[in-house]
Every structure is written in structure tokens, then in C-alpha cells.
Amino acid sequence: MVEENWRRVDDYIASALISKEEAQEATLAANARENLPAIDVSPPQGKLLHLLACAIGAKRILEIGTLGGYSTIWLARAVGDGGKVVTFEVDPRHAEIARANIAHEGVSARVDLRIGAALDLLPQLEAERAGSFDLAFIDADKPNNAAYFAYALKLSRPGALIVVDNVVREGAVADPAKTDGGALGARALFEAVAAEKRVEATAVQTVGAKGWDGFLIARVK
């Protein structure tokens, strides 16, 4: 019953504050039809990413974990014409679906979708020296979050934001008895961020359509 209430409130927020043009109903329908894991950010969370990117005037965004492109499209809308979202997806089939969704939403020119393991692609991206990122969104395999954060920091400009999703994990982050990869990865991320003097950070718990979780947000000094 509690989770049903969370979902109902998320639906209310989306219906009140997210327009039909923003909602990406076709993207979500395509992802469901293709049996992608139902792990996209929620519509209110997608709108939050969009607003954060707009608030800092982001023109270059790094995304680790494309899935079907739902969050990618929110971010691509934020960067505007001439902006770029570089996004990594390890699964070629997911990437194919994402490309179709991105094209359907008319933002293909703003998205550089690269297929492969992020820890293989990130050194290549660093070697390109194509400019610093204004925002990074990390939403991929959780055991590697600390490593992804370290690369995002190296690739970000002063004042950039780094957002990491799924860091609370139904409270597992604060429960030493939880030793699965997601819990260990979340704690490793917090330890890495706490020890990093080049950022200031916080984390926020969330409840909603995606259950009890949360995100970490760091600002590069």
C-alpha cells in the first residue's frame, strides 16, 4: 500500500507538471514493448535532471548508462542546439532501441551514443581532449560507481555537477549487513566522494514509482 501511494503521487506530479510534449510516452512505450528492464528514471526524476542541466547552462553532458535513452532525451533537450550529450551503453540492443527513441524525439544531432563498457570508453574520451563537461549523470552498473565518479570528476569543469542515481538502495547503503554489489558500490562511492576535496556533495533519499532510493549530487569546486 505504501509503494502504491508513492507511485500515485509520482503520477500526480507528472500529470500536473510535465506536459504531454515533454512526457516521452512513445519512448517509454517502446522500451516496454522491447522488454527493456524497467529501470529508467521516473518522469519527475527525468524532469529534475533537465532542470539541473538548464539551471547551470549545460552544453556538454556525460551520461554513463543509456538504456533506452529516456534520461538521455531529457538531457539532450536541455543542452539545446549546438549542445552535446555523450552517452555510453554496454548493450548493443539497448543502444539500438535508444537510437530509435532519440531519433523519434528529434534530438539525434545532440547525442553521441557510444557502445561498450564505460571503463573502456572513458579513457578514450579523456584522450580526445574535446573539452570539459558541465554535468555528468551516472546510472549504470553500481559496483563501478566510484570509478565512474573518478572519471567524471577528471572530465568536468569547475562548477560542473555530477549526479549519481540509485545510491540509497532501500537503505542498504547504511546497513553493514548488506554486502551485495549494489550496496558495496554505493558505500564505496560515498567514501570516495567524502575523501575528495575537489567537490562538495550531498545525497537525497527519494520515494516514488522506483521505490525507496536516492541520488548523490556533487559540485566540482
Residue pLDDT, tens place only, 89-141: 999 999 999 999 999 999 999 999 999 999 999 999 999 998 899 999 999 99
Interacting residues of 4 by C-beta distance below 8 A, sequence separation 6+: none
Q: How far apart are CA 104 and CA 98, in angstroms?
A: 10
Give me the mean pLDDT over the 201-206 stretch. 97
Give me the mean pLDDT over the 154-167 stretch. 98
Q: Is 13's pLDDT higher than 90?
A: yes
pLDDT at 1: 74
Q: How far apart are CA 71 and CA 215, in angstroms?
A: 14
Q: Is 34's pLDDT higher than 80?
A: yes
pLDDT at 30: 97
Cell of 35: 522488454
Q: Walk across the sheet containing 133-138 and list its strands.
A: 111-115, 84-89, 60-64, 133-138, 156-165, 211-220, 199-208
Residue 85 near residue 75 (C-beta atoms within 8 A): yes
Give me the mean pLDDT over the 162-188 stretch. 97
pLDDT at 130: 86
Tell me the pLDDT band of 144, cut-offs 50, 70 and 90: very high
Q: Is 145's pLDDT higher than 80?
A: yes
Break the chain down into helix, strand, coil percent, rounded to 5.
50, 25, 30
Give me the mean pLDDT over the 3-10 stretch. 95
DSSP-derived letter for residue 172 is G
Burial classification of residue 189, based on how many CB atoms lie within 10 Å of its CB (0-12 exposed, 13-18 middle, 19 or more buried)? buried
